[in-house]
């Protein structure tokens, strides 16, 4: 398949999935477009490995993509009531639009200043390197023998890059960079669109501009690592889980789907999937049968995850950390190192992270937002325990990865903190308290 | 409506119109400039070559000699982080061939900046001898020497 045909297929799929998400959830066009585009990326990242697993690399891959698109289009046509899913209400730009556009310009400037050919170390030494194994039709399993390059890592990110290289016909440095740019745009767009549904527009624009001006965020987004993609999956899962008090079937399906996307992006995502599944089950305890929608949504991605992890992937290098479990847990020095280095790196590299965390803890994420807040805190706990048990030198491991872990959670934190603190009912409560004083 | 009010309304309408034009211009200018900057960056990034690419060109002959999926041993005089980086670069560039972290049991061994290592291994047959920038790339065969 030529590059142009592949791009056209992806665009067609993005339109179909945007419409399907909009029809199913009544989400805004912006949010539906971000979710729809992520579904296309996930479809590409799941279909290529599945096609390789069953031994039909090219034919199987394209056939699966086309079939998924036809199914989603058919579903959309049946449930479509009008042309509303794609109707755009044009209006003259106001000052908030001008401010957002300035934010986009600043972000572009920060992004390209930090974007390099082949990306940072992990980008070429792991993600793009894994992608190189997926380009050929026969020898992808040789990847599992690259013992020093984490062959157990999930394949969503490398599969997307490999699909582009397959369409182009050769390996080049532009595809990983373009993927990182698309993911950055989707992150910013999702944060704005999701907040726009929950809070007043100036607040959503403030959060958008805050992220645009964060050089740390731009640097991580430009690094071509899979952490931004993981952050996007986590954000979308949280957005659909926290969208309404009584989650609808469509929202649960999408929350399950994006949680499973996270699990197919990085091993941390497996922990996220387990946490979100537990939180969803707990929040649905009065009508537990609705949990089947979450499972249904996660199923398309669970198939390649389970297949890869059971049939191919070697055990994770971090698993050997359990050998010294008790001595590591009892070591006060390790606890202190994690906390001290963690705070120091958060302040230096992602300066908005701790103030936003304080804001969300102060506002106390009520009702449906509590699900997102609990997920965020549990993920921080998972990271803490991972560092506590790491078989690597603790300081080396912390300084080489902690900023990336915070980057994964940052978009989710911005969404939860701004929604918790500035939701209309919260603003009314605060204004009332001030008037009483 | 008095004449004063009419004048004020006209002035306000003028200010509003000028504001709208300014906002529209600002939005279009910022978004266009962002797009231009990004396309320029993408263009230069896809055409500029770095150390990784230069090493990649040097490894072309190695790629031609070693079939995909095969194991290649690795040796270098470099140590520590420098050795680790060379090995990762070689793995990235040679995939889907697998680079072993040591010379190990592989029949062919990729030697990057390893003249001293090679001098200590007499009798190995040199298949490729290439210079890629500051890096000296050699592919040697153990089997062919026997």
pLDDT in tens, A8-39: 999 999 999 999 999 898 899 999 999 999 99
| CA atoms of A171 and A151, how far apart (whole Å) | 20
Query: Which one, of A18, A20, A40, lies nearest residue A29 by Cα?
Result: A18
Kindly list the residues from chain B whose CB atom is less than 8 angstroms away from the CB atom of residue A143: 95-96
State the nearest Cα–Cα gap between A180 and chain B, in angstroms: 12
Could you give the ipTM of this predicted complex? Answer: 0.89
Residue A43 clears pLDDT 50, i.e. is over it: yes
**Residue of B29, B95, B98, B106 for testing the chain A interface, max A β-carbons within 10 Å:** B95
Query: Residue B91: which of A136, A149, A173 has the nearest Cβ?
Result: A149
| DSSP structural state of residue B76 | -
**pTM of the complete model beyond 0.90:** yes
pLDDT digit string, tens, across residues B37-52: 999 999 999 988 888 8
**CB nearest B98 (choices: A101, A115, A146):** A146
Cβ separation B45–A133 shorter than 8 A: no
Q: Over pLDDT 90: what percentage of chain A?
A: 68
A216-264 residue pLDDT tens:
999 999 999 999 999 999 999 999 999 888 888 999 999 999 999 999 9
| pLDDT per residue as tens digits for the range A131-147 | 999 998 767 889 998 88
Most confident of the following: A294-303, B46-55, B119-128, B131-140: A294-303
Flag the least confident range among A354-368, A370-384, B69-83: A354-368
Residue A89, pLDDT > 80, answer: no
Can you list the alpha helix ranges (DSSP code H) found in A350-393? 353-363, 369-389
Q: Is the pLDDT of residue A120 over 70?
A: yes
**Between these two residues, A294 and B4, which has the higher pLDDT value?**
A294
Pick from B16, B19, B28, B34 the residue to mutate for testing the A interface (most A CBs within 10 Å). Answer: B34
Write the residue in B45, B87, B98 that is nearest to A115 by C-beta: B45
Q: How many CB atoms sit inside 10 A of residue A83's CB?
A: 8
Q: How many CB atoms lie within 10 A of CB B103?
A: 21
Q: How far is CA A237 from the centre of its chain?
A: 8
**Optimal mutation site among A124, A179, A314, A393, interface B, most CBs of chain B within 10 A:** A124
Alpha-carbon distance A241 to A258, whole Å? 10
Cβ partners under 8 Å of residue B121, min gap 6: B140
Mean of per-residue pLDDT scores for chain A: 90
The closest CB to that of B45, out of A92, A117, A145, belongs to A117
Task: Please count the other Cβ atoms lying within 10 Å of the Cβ belonging to residue A195.
Answer: 24
Contact B30 A140 (CB under 8 A): no
Residues of chain B above pLDDT 70, percent = 90
Residue A9 to residues A1, A29, A44, A330, Cα–Cα distance (Å): 10, 20, 11, 55
**Pairwise CB contact (< 8 Å): B71 & A145:** yes
Residues of chain A with C-beta less than 8 angstroms from the C-beta of B91: 125, 129, 146, 148-149
Quick one: pLDDT at residue A107?
Answer: 97
Judging by DSSP bridges, how do beta strands B108-112 and B71-75 pair with one another?
parallel
Main-chain phi, psi angles of A244, to 5 degrees: -140, 160
Interface check B68 vs A, CB under 8 A: yes
Nearest to B90 by CA among B140, B56, B50, B48: B56
Indicate whether B14 pLDDT > 80.
no
Chosen from A146, A221, A392, A393 to mutate, greatest number of chain B CBs within 10 A: A146
At A79 the pLDDT is: 77
Q: How far is B97 from chain A (nearest CA, A)?
A: 7
Residues of B in contact with A138 (CB under 8 A): 68-69
Provide the angle, in degrees to the nearest 10, between the axes of the packed helices A215-222 and A174-198.
Answer: 140
Q: Report the gap between the CA of B99 and the closest CA in chain A (Å).
A: 7
Q: What gap in Å lies between CA A430 and CA A195, rounded to an integer?
A: 19
DSSP character at residue B143: G
All residues of chain B having their beta carbon less than 8 Å from the beta carbon of residue A393 are: none
More confident residue, A421 or A128: A128
pLDDT at B146: 46
Taking each helix axis from N to C end, the angle separating A156-168 and A174-198, rounded to the nearest 10 degrees, works out to 130
Q: B137 forms bridges with which residues in the sheet?
A: B112, B130
């Amino acid at each position: 398949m030529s590059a142009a045909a592949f791009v056209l297929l992806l665009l067609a799929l993005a339109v179909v999935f945007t419409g399907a998400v909009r029809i199913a959830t009544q989400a805004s066009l912006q949010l539906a477009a971000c979710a729809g585009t992520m579904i296309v990326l996930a479809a590409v990242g799941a279909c290529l490995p599945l096609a390789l697993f069953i031994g039909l690399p090219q034919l199987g891959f394209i056939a699966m993509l086309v079939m998924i698109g036809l199914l989603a289009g058919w579903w959309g046509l049946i449930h479509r009531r009008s042309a509303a899913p794609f109707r755009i209400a044009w209006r003259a730009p106001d000052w908030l639009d001008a401010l957002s556009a300035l934010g986009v310009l600043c972000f572009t400037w920060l992004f390209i200043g930090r974007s390099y050919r082949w990306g940072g170390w992990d980008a070429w030494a792991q993600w793009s390197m894994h992608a190189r194994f997926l380009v050929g039709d026969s020898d992808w399993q040789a990847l599992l023998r690259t013992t020093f390059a984490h062959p157990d890592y999930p394949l969503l990110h490398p599969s997307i890059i490999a699909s582009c290289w397959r369409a182009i016909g050769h390996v080049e440095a532009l595809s990983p960079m373009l993927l990182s740019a698309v993911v950055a745009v989707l992150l910013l767009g999702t944060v704005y669109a999701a907040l726009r549904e929950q809070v007043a527009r100036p607040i959503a624009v403030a959060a958008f501009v805050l992220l645009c001006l964060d050089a740390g965020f731009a640097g991580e987004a430009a690094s071509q690592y899979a952490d931004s993609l993981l952050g996007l999956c986590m954000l979308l899962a949280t957005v659909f889980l926290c969208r309404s008090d009584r989650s609808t079937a469509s929202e649960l399906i999408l929350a399950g789907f994006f949680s499973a996307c996270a699990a197919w992006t990085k091993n941390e995502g497996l922990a996220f999937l387990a946490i979100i599944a537990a939180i969803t089950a707990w929040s649905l305890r009065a009508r537990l049968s609705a949990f089947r929608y979450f499972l249904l949504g996660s199923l398309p991605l669970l198939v390649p995850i389970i297949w890869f992890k059971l049939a191919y992937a070697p055990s994770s290098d971090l698993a050997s950390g359990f050998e010294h479990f008790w001595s590591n847990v009892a070591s006060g020095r390790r606890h202190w190192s994690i906390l001290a280095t963690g705070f120091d790196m958060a302040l230096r590299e992602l300066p908005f992270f701790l103030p936003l965390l304080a804001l969300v803890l102060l506002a106390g994420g009520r009702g449906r937002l509590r699900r997102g807040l609990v997920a965020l805190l549990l993920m921080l706990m998972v990271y803490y325990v991972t560092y506590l048990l790491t078989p690597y030198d603790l300081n080396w491991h912390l300084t080489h990865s902690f900023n990336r872990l915070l980057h994964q959670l940052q978009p989710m934190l911005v969404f939860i903190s701004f929604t918790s603190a500035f939701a209309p009912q919260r603003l009314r409560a605060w204004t009332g308290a001030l008037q009483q004083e | 409506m008095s004449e004063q009010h009419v004048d004020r309304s006209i002035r306000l309408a003028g200010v509003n119109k000028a504001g709208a034009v300014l906002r529209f211009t600002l939005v279009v200018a910022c978004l266009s400039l962002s797009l231009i900057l990004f396309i320029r960056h993408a263009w230069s990034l896809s055409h500029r070559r770095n150390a990784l690419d230069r090493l990649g060109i040097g490894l072309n002959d190695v790629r031609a000699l070693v079939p995909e999926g095969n194991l290649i041993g690795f040796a270098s005089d470099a140590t520590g982080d420098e050795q680790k980086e060379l090995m990762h670069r070689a793995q990235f560039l040679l995939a889907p061939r697998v680079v072993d972290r040591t010379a190990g049991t592989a029949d062919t061994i990729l030697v990057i900046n390893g003249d001293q290592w090679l001098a200590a291994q007499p009798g190995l047959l040199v298949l490729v001898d290439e210079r890629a920038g500051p890096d000296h790339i050699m592919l040697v065969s153990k089997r062919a020497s026997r």
